[in-house]
Amino acid sequence: MPKETSIPMSKEASSRIQSAAAKNPSSATAQTGFAPRAQSAADRNANTASRSNTSNGGKK
């Protein structure tokens, strides 16, 4: 069985999901609460990326 790979949630993808949920409140995306979870994941991924991009470990 092949190993599954996943793509981290981006701010752009989260924005598209939230927009789709707002345009159609009766959609599964809106009703399941996926939009706020997508936003949370995008925020978490952005924070992780910003922490890993420091070249000196945050030291001066």
Q: What is the 3-state secondary structure (H, E, C) of 15-49?
A: HHHHHHHHHCCCCHHHHCCHHHHHHHHHHHHHHHH
pTM of the model: 0.70
Radius of gyration from C-alpha coordinates of the chain = 16
Instruction: Show me where the domains of the chain are located.
Output: 11-52
Coil, helix or strand for 6?
coil
pLDDT tens-digit series, residues 13-58: 999 999 999 999 999 999 999 999 999 999 999 988 877 766 555 5
At residue 33, the pLDDT reads 95
The mean per-residue pLDDT over the stretch 1-10 comes to 82
* pLDDT at residue 51, rounded to an integer: 79
Which one is predicted more confidently, 5 or 34?
34
